[in-house]
Amino acid sequence: MSAEANQPDHTPGIIPWTELVTNDKAASVAFYTSLFGWATDEMAMPNGDTYTMFKQGERMVAGCVVPPGDSEAMPMWLSYVNVEDIDASIEKAQELGATIHKERVDLPMGSFAILSDPQGATFAFWQGNQDADC
């Protein structure tokens, strides 16, 4: 696989990442690795949790996370949509009737926020750090 195939695409408006939110990570990982033949990689998070990434060959295709203990998040697939300016995008989404469920979070690889549209569909904004590998 070429190096370019694993490079992040920061094009605004595309969905570069999707994440499985589940309360039973072990069962979910077993299901999707069996279903699609995905492998996994683990990444330690600053809070001590482990983030699981699904891989098809060497390509990262999705993530898997357990919501915080006090979260009311239902199991779902969460799509991240690239934006050029996360703060402006959050503001515009709110003006259009979106609800913010998780305010902007800054990570070494970029920033995200979780919202729902006026009809209740949940999605996330992602503004990647152009210098990061993910």
* Ordered strands of the 39-44 beta sheet: 39-44, 50-56, 59-65, 17-21, 76-82, 122-128, 110-116, 99-107
> For position 1, what pLDDT does the model report?
36
Domain range annotation of the chain:
16-71, 83-134
| CATH H superfamily, domain 16-71 | 2,3-Dihydroxybiphenyl 1,2-Dioxygenase, domain 1 (3.10.180.10)
For the chain (134 residues), the mean pLDDT of every run of 10, in chain order, is 60 94 94 97 86 94 85 86 98 98 92 96 93 59
Amino acid at 40: T
Report pLDDT for 5.
53
pLDDT on residue 49: 83
Same fold, 16-71 and 83-134: yes
Which CATH number is associated with domain 83-134?
A: 3.10.180.10
Torsion, Cα 73 74 75 80, to 10 degrees, reads: -50
Predicted local distance difference test score (pLDDT) of residue 134: 52
Coil, strand or helix: which one is 71?
Answer: coil
Whole-angstrom distance, CA of residue 57 vs CA of residue 99: 37
